[in-house]
Amino acid sequence: MTQNFLADLKTTLENCIAELDELHFMFCQNPEADFTGNRKLSFHDYIQFMVQMQSKSVSNEILDFFEHSLAAPAKSSFTQQHFKLQPEGWSFLFHIFVEQCRELSDQPYHGYRLLACDGSDVNIARDPEDERTFIHEGEKGYNAIHVNALYDIMNHTYCDFLVQGKKKLHERAALNTITDRYPDSVPAILMADRGYESFNVFAHLIQKNMKFIIRMKDINSNGILSAYDLPDSQFDTHIKTTLTRRHTKETLGDPNTYTILQQTTDLDFLDENCTYYDIEFRIVRILLDNGTYICIATNLSEEDFPLEEIKKLYRMRWSEETSFRELKYTIGLVNWHSSKYDGILQELNARMILYNFCEFVTAQAVVRTRDNTKHIYKINFATAVNICRAYLKHSSDEIETMLLIQKHLTPVRSNRKYPIRLRPKRNRDFMYRAA
């Protein structure tokens, strides 16, 4: 760890906020008037306030941020500022912070960034009129958004995300959008689960020159592999086919060469000018300890990434599930301060920025333990978030802050397996917030 990493990271965030401040007119509802006058809640303070927000009511958040000063702005001041900046402005801030932090902390794996893509639902305030998010279920129904996130496994940070209303959910389309805007200059291996199995997804990744490891439905199911003659055992082979929508004597008579897609099946690279699309990828079928199989599609070579390496890499994508838990409950994503969709998007960006900031900090902290300890230890992320919030507010001594973070550890208990129990989770109502 460099001695000034924490100060450098905060300076990076401040510089990103300053850059957004210079360009805020591009993202405001009323560019000529918004954020132009002298206000109790300046543009800089508004951004920092949003990033440092916890799970309290807005009034108590303001009192905490301004240290219970009589000069603290009223709740109405925050509300007026809140909707001046459009969600696109927050997205701009998130992406430039991610880009600049890549220079401060980057841990490639054999020259690749390991990326996991997955999605998670988050309930929001009930609004039956919102067709994007309202789900008619049960007596009253509920509203929810779906966060599609691209997660850097080695650096434990989010690179990109895209929000969809739960009612309009389309995970594969979201992944294609995220893939298309990924920077070409950074080699990556993208990992995803069975929900992303699609020729269209594979084609987007191949066109982007990205490597991928995506789980597929098994050969005995109704997925892509059910159409091919594959052995009912562990294997490592290639599939090469030509995708088309044409029903001709040639395509119908040669199923080993052509795969005919239905009109309802998405493939963005087929149109009236291009009626055939050649695609090739590797299929790995792995036998698990419990006697079942999983199938994985990849375009990684057998020489550099043999079967056991593919198995190891796919297991690593589970860390994104852990990150969703920390984002929701440690950072406080489930505790919204707005009921409006645009306000929720702003808060989501702010939470993502804080999460990345805290992960960059904890990655630099040194874990010191005795040689005879029972467990391996890691930094307690929940405590680190609390300390990072305080550092952003007060700019205390960097060395003392890092030592304080390093003091709070939690044991790593690896190889634990529990069944996933799906339980309905209500939105945290605005009336019931801790003081």
Predicted local confidence at residue 2, as pLDDT: 54
- What is the rounded CA–CA span in Å between residue 95 and residue 353? 9
Given this model, what pLDDT does residue 64 score?
Answer: 94
Tell me the percentage of the chain whose pLDDT exceeds 90: 71
Q: Sorting pLDDT into bands at 50, 70 and 90, what band is 1?
A: very low
**Tokens, residue 75:** 């709740």
For residue 432, what pLDDT is reported? 73
pLDDT-based confidence at residue 423 (cuts at 50, 70, 90): low
pLDDT band at 52 (very low <50, low <70, confident <90, very high): very high
- Tokens representing 187 are 């080699």
Q: Are 50 and 93 in contact (CB under 8 A)?
A: no
Element (H, E) at 379: strand 376-379
**Which residues, other chains included, contact 50 with Cβ-Cβ below 8 Å and sequence gap of 6+?**
346, 347, 350
Residue 71 vs residue 368, higher pLDDT: 71
- Share the mean pLDDT of the chain: 91
Residue 157's DSSP bridge partners are 152
- Given this model, what pLDDT does residue 425 score? 66
Return the pLDDT at 427.
73
pLDDT value, residue 37? 78
Q: What is the pTM of this model?
A: 0.93
**Tokens 């297991």 belong to residue:** 315
CA separation for the pair 51, 146 (Å, rounded): 21
DSSP per-residue letters across 241-309: EEEE----HHHHT-TTTEEEPPTTS--TT-BTTB-EEEEEEEEEEEE-TTS-EEEEEE-S-TTTS-HHH
Average pLDDT over residues 304-312: 94
CA distance 50 to 347: 7
Q: Tell me: pLDDT of 369 over 80.
A: no
pLDDT higher at 101 or 138: 101
**E strand segments, 125-210:** 134-135, 142-152, 157-165, 188-192
Q: Mind listing the pLDDT tens digit for each residue in 170-208?
A: 999 999 999 999 988 889 999 999 999 999 999 999 999
Nearest alpha carbon to residue 210 among 241, 243, 181, 172: 181
Measured CA distances, 369 to 171, 363, 403, 406 (Å): 42, 16, 13, 10
Taking the CA atoms of 177, 178, 181 and 185 in sequence, report the sign of the dihedral they define: negative
Q: Is the pLDDT of residue 434 over 90?
A: no
Burial class of 278 by CB neighbour count within 10 A (0 to 12, 13 to 18, 19+) = exposed
Which amino acid, 183? P
Query: What is the predicted pLDDT for the residue at 424?
Result: 63
> Which residues lie closer than 8 Å to 80 by C-beta, 6 or more apart?
none
pLDDT in tens, 115-157: 999 999 999 999 999 999 999 988 889 999 999 999 999 999 9
pLDDT band at 403 (very low <50, low <70, confident <90, very high): very high
Using a 10 angstrom Cβ sphere, with 0-12 exposed, 13-18 middle and 19 or more buried, the burial of residue 140 is exposed
Mean pLDDT throughout 330-336?
95
Amino acid at residue number 280: E
Instruction: Record the tokens describing residue 246, joined without a space.
Output: 């044409």
What pLDDT does 418 receive? 63
Q: Which two tokens stand for residue 431?
A: 């009336």
